[in-house]
A = this chain, B = another copy of it.
Amino acid sequence: MSADLRTIPTPRVVVDRARLHANIESMQARATRAGVRLRPHAKTHKSPAIARTQIAAGAVGICCAKLGEAEVFADAGIADIRLPYPVNPANAARVQALQDRLRISIIVDSLDAAREWATVMRRSGRRLDVLVKVDVGFHRCGVDPDAPDAVDTMREIAGLDGLGFRGLLSHAGHAYHARSERELQEIAAREAAILHQLAVQLRDISIAVEEVSVGSTPTARFIDEQRGVTEMRPGNYVFFDRTQVGLEAAAIEDCAMSVISTVVSRPAPDRVVLDAGSKTLTSDGVRGFSPASGHGMVFPSLEATQPDASIAIERLSEEHAVASVPADHPLRIGDRVRIVPNHSCVVTNLADELLFVDGLSILERVPVAARGRNS
């Protein structure tokens, strides 16, 4: 390809291929060391090419959030997909079609939904693998482990004909709101303790709990300490982003994804306008321990190896980023910058393809095949 990052139309989402591969290897090594299976969440990249790299490195399969994503990865030949999502039984026909092609499992978090799934599966003479989702403090989905009937609910689900109970699963999404490394560590410890206690109670009544699955990129560093866990499901680590840097899950130089953007206006000495807006970066804010704000870390040139904290993207329109700069900042109209976004998973979902790069060179164009597959 003759174009490089100095000449391609901007904004453009690029991925440093060497960093991507290093991130994949490094998380795999962490899982292997801890003796747990790695099943990365593919929502971050939505790209079969990257899923294949993860599996080649040792992942046992992938996770998808939605059936639409799973269908794309099934088409690409991925053989084992878990949906840590309370897929509604109205989608039974699609789930069964996927069962004909690969190994698939979902989560349930209520007896009602589990019974409905059991009924539709029994009716077609099939069995669906399920894990029970446990709410470990994020308070999104999941069975409340403190509810007096929690173990009874799980026992009933495990006994339903038409379902294959595989184990317990959690997502400590509240880790993204942790205010310190110590709080993160406590969240990971509590997650493992809750799941372990439930697993023991279930095993005590002779229910096999084959899988105890946890997953989030910020808590992944504590996997060694999470006793009883069999599987981890981080997703974001392939690219990382400004939030992961803020949560100390990654160093700046681990961030594999960035957005190449051009200065399109310098309307005032202290203001620069870039061509990447919320239709490229999304409006997602930044999280992390240290006070941070704005819309991404800006590297002041394509060659710069460190972000320039004096360039602060203060607001996004749909197609503009408005940044404050010191009045004597040298950025001029036409200059190109590199932005590490706040949240890479949602940036991917806006792009039809990712450009894999090495420095300024474009190595491959990788389709985001499952982009927009949210149903």
Name A residues whose Cβ lies closer than 8 Å to a Cβ of B. Answer: 7, 9-12, 43, 65-68, 85-91, 94, 109-110, 112-113, 116, 135, 139-144, 173, 262, 264-268, 271, 273, 275-280, 282-285, 317-320, 322, 332-334, 345-346, 349-352, 372, 374-375
Q: A85-B264, A90-B262, A265-B141 are in contact. Are A319 and B10 (CB under 8 A)?
A: no
> Judging by beta carbons under 8 Å apart, are A142 and B90 in contact?
no
> Judging by beta carbons under 8 Å apart, are B375 and A267 in contact?
no
> Judging by beta carbons under 8 Å apart, are B279 and A349 in contact?
yes
Contacts of A351 in B (CB 8 A): 372
Partner of A11, one of B262, B273, B275, B375: B375
A-B contact pairs, 26 of them (CB 8 A): A9-B375, A43-B319, A86-B264, A86-B273, A88-B262, A90-B262, A90-B334, A110-B266, A112-B333, A113-B265, A135-B267, A139-B267, A139-B271, A140-B273, A140-B317, A141-B264, A141-B273, A144-B267, A275-B375, A283-B283, A283-B284, A283-B285, A318-B346, A318-B349, A319-B374, A349-B350
Q: A139-B271, A320-B140, A350-B349 are in contact. Are A9 and B265 (CB under 8 A)?
A: no
Interface residue SS majority, chain A: loop
A277 to B352, CA, bound (A): 19
Contacts of A346 in B (CB 8 A): 278-279, 283, 318
Considering the complex of A and B, which 8 residue pairs feature the smallest CB-CB distances, nearest first?
A9-B375, A65-B319, A141-B265, A283-B283, A86-B264, A86-B265, A283-B284, A279-B374
A267 to B140, CA, bound (A): 8
> Judging by beta carbons under 8 Å apart, are A87 and B144 in contact?
no
Contacts of A284 in B (CB 8 A): 278, 283
